[in-house]
Chains A and B, each alone.
Chain A
Amino acid sequence: AQRVTQPEKLLSVFKGAPVELKCNYSYSGSPELFWYVQYSRQRLQLLLRHISRESIKGFTADLNKGETSFHLKKPFAQEEDSAMYYCALSGNSGYSTLTFGKGTMLLVSP
């Protein structure tokens, strides 16, 4: 069975502080990992995926297979980063149904 764990329901930081949103997963094969974001009153949208190794809005995430983690990081948080963040996993079934974590609310205060 595949599982995604996001241990923090809420992460509150000040503007300019570093941010790390934790994500751990459980999967027997080689998963694909994603981070989705939902800003207030907006729909869920893809932030980044590990296979493309890109940085979006200053966020990065590295897949650590040894620790089965895919933590989301940003060196300097901005107020506009305040949102709900979901880590998600897709198994190697050939199509991409997603297993989501419960999400972490990031609040960036001025």
Chain B
Amino acid sequence: GAGVSQTPSNKVTEKGKYVELRCDPISGHTALYWYRQSLGQGPEFLIYFQGTGAADDSGLPNDRFFAVRPEGSVSTLKIQRTERGDSAVYLCASSLLAGLANEQFFGPGTRLTVL
């Protein structure tokens, strides 16, 4: 079946603009995670959803970052007033349930470039 998909695959924007990044998890997966991967670094946790609610948003760097998952499936990561330091690959992952026994399946990522 289809894996996790993310759109767009690439996004170039100017400093100060607003961007939205979309994640379509595997059908039926209740848990959804967003990570950010800067150049030369490993993925860094941003936010975790269980169903529609954000169960842990402790990784969001500041209040310019926000994510929603209104129907418990598709999620959108929103970044306001983008800065050059926001440039990174944004990864989404989903798992059937939360919990360590449940493998996280990753999407291909969205590469965000802020000029």
Whether chain B is bound by chain A comes out as yes
B106, A45: Cβ atoms under 8 Å?
Answer: yes
Point out which of A46, A96, A102 has the most chain B C-beta atoms below 10 A from its C-beta. Answer: A96
7 nearest interchain CB pairs?
Answer: A100-B42, A95-B98, A44-B106, A97-B45, A32-B100, A96-B100, A100-B43
**A43-B109, A100-B43 given; A95·B48 CB < 8 A:** yes
A46–B102 Cα distance when bound, in Å, is 11
Contact present for A46 and B43 (CB under 8 Å): no
What residue of chain A has the Cβ atom nearest to residue B59's Cβ? A97
Q: What band does the interface of chain B fall in when counting residues whose beta carbon is under 8 Å from A?
A: 20 to 34
Chain B residues within 8 Å of A4, by CB: 42
Q: Which of B42, B91, B109 has the most CB of A within 10 A?
A: B42
Determine whether the beta carbon of A96 is less than 8 Å from that of B99.
yes
**With A and B bound together, what is the CA distance between A41 and B98 in angstroms?**
28
Q: How far is A46 from B95 in the complex, measured between Cα atoms in Å?
A: 12
Chain A positions 41-64 with a Cβ under 8 Å from a chain B Cβ = 43-46, 51
Main secondary structure of the interface of B (DSSP, over half): loop
Chain B residues in 8 Å Cβ range of A51: 100-101
Contact (A102, B104) CB under 8 Å given A94-B99, A95-B98, A97-B48: no
Q: In the bound complex, what is the Cα–Cα distance between A4 and B42 (angstroms)?
A: 10
B33 in contact with A97 (CB, 8 Å):
yes
Cα A62 to Cα B102 with chains together (Å): 20
| Residue in A43, A44, A99 whose beta carbon sits within 8 Å of that of B45 in the complex | A99
Cα-based distance from A51 to B102 in the complex (angstroms)? 12
B55 within 8 Å of A by Cβ? Answer: yes
Q: List chain B residues, Cβ under 8 A from A99.
A: 45
Whether A86 touches B42, Cβ cut-off 8 Å, given contacts A95-B98, A98-B104, is yes
> Chain B residues with Cβ under 8 A from A6's Cβ?
42
Whether B91 contacts A95 by the Cβ 8 Å rule is no
* Contact B31–A95 (Cβ < 8 Å): yes
B43 and A44 form a contact (CB under 8 A): yes
Which chain B residues border A44 with CB–CB below 8 Å? 43, 91, 106
